Amino acid sequence: MAALTRLLARRSVRIGLGILLAVVLLVLPLVSPQFANQTITRIAVFAVAVLGLNVVMGYTGQVSLGQVFFVGVGAYAAAVTIKSEWGEALGLGGVVIGFVLAVLIPGALGLLIALAAARLRGLGLALVTIALPIIGVPLAKRLSDITGGSQGMSARVFSAPEWTGLDTDQWQYYVVMSIAAAVFALVFFLVRGKFGRAFAIVKENEAVASAMGISPYRYKVLAFTVASAVGGVAGFLYVVAIQFVSPDVMGFGHSIELVIATIVGGAGSIVGSIIGGVFYVLLPQITNSIYPESTTVVQGAIILLVLFLLPGGLASLPRRLRKLFSRTRPEHSLPSTPGSEPAPGESENTERQGQR
C-alpha cells in the first residue's frame, strides 16, 4: 500500500493515468452498447448537478436543499429556447443560445436568492432552499403554455449529425462528457485558487474569516451563484441526454437524493462529485432490478454507514486505508531504551562509526 501511494504521488504517473483515462473515455462509446452509453451519459449529467451542490455545501459549508430547482430551471430554459420557432429556425445557434440561457437564468436566480438569504444560517437557509422545489413544481405545471404543464415537453433535437458517422447515443455521450469535463475543470481551478481558500475559511469559522478581511456574506453569495449556474448546466445536459423535461425533474425528492449523493460521494471533493453521480444513477437501477421498493431503504442504510464509518464520503476511503495500513505496519526502527538489546545490525554500525 505504501509503495502504491508513493507511486501515485509521482506527477508523471498521475499525468499518465489521466491520459489513459481520457483515451478510455474517448474510445468507450464506440465499443459499448447503447444502454451503457446512456447510463454513463446520465452519470455525467448528475455528477455535474452534485458538483454544483458541492460548491455551496461541501466547500462553503452552507445547507442547500434546493439545488434540483436550478437543474429544472436550466432544463426548461434550454428546452423552451430550442423548441421555440426562432430557436428551431436558428438550428445549432438556437442550441447555443439555449445553453447560454440555461446558465444565465439559474445563475441570476441564484444570485437574487443568495443576496436575500446568505445572511441566514443553518435552519433558516435550509428552509429558504426547501421552498424552491416546492414552489417550482406547481409553477411549472401552471405555466403550461410555456412548459407543457404536467405532461412536460419533448426536446428531441440532439440527433447525431450525419457528418459525424455516430449514433445518437454516442453523439450525446460526447456532447455531455465534453461540457461536463469543462465544468469540472473550471470548478477545480476555482476551489484550488484564492476563492477556494476563502470558501474553506468561511466554512471553518466566519468570525475568523471576517477578522482576516474575508467577507463571509460575499463569498457565500458567490458560492451559491456558482452552484446555481452549474446546476443550470446540469439542466441543459439533462435535456441533451433525456431529450425531455417535466415538472418532476425539480421535485423535492430528487433534491434530497442529490444531497444524499453529495454526502455519500464526499462533500468538498471533486472526485466525490463523480462518485455521487454514479451513486445517484446506478443505485436505483440496481435496486429496481432486484426489488423496486427497496431503493429508499438501501439509500438510508448506505448514508448511515457512510456517516458513521466514512464521514468524508467514499472519496475519503483511500486516505482512510492509507492511515489504517500505516498504523498496522510493523515499526522497523524504534528508538532504543536503556537496558534494551540493540537491534540486529546496530552493533556492527556502531563499530564501523568508531573505526571512522
Distances (CA, A) of 71 to 74, 275, 292: 5, 19, 25
Please report whether residue 17 resides in a domain: no
Asked if 98 contacts 79 with a C-beta cutoff of 8 angstroms, the reply is: yes
pLDDT at 304 exceeding the cut of 60: yes
Q: Tell me the pLDDT tens digit for each residue of 214-248.
A: 999 999 999 999 999 999 999 999 999 998 899 98
Please report whether residue 89 resides in a domain: yes
- Domain enclosing residue 51, as ranges: 29-250
Please report whether residue 152 resides in a domain: yes
Distance in angstroms (rounded) separating the CA atoms of residues 79 and 244: 8
Please report whether residue 70 resides in a domain: yes
- Please give the model's pTM, rounded to 2 decimal places: 0.86
Distance in angstroms (rounded) separating the CA atoms of residues 135 and 145: 18
pLDDT band per the 50, 70, 90 thresholds, residue 340: very low
pLDDT at 119: 79
Q: Tell me the pLDDT tens digit for each residue of 141-163.
A: 998 888 888 888 887 777 888 88
Q: How far is CA 152 from the centre of its chain?
A: 26
Q: Tell me the pLDDT tens digit for each residue of 14-66.
A: 688 778 888 888 898 988 899 999 999 999 999 999 999 999 999 998 888 88
Please report whether residue 340 resides in a domain: no
Distance in angstroms (rounded) separating the CA atoms of residues 302 and 295: 11
pLDDT at 290: 84
Please report whether residue 292 resides in a domain: no
Please report whether residue 276 resides in a domain: no
pLDDT at 353: 46
Distance in angstroms (rounded) separating the CA atoms of residues 76 and 206: 36
Q: Tell me the pLDDT tens digit for each residue of 107-120.
A: 999 999 999 888 77
Give the chain's domain count.
1
pLDDT at 262: 93
Please report whether residue 296 resides in a domain: no
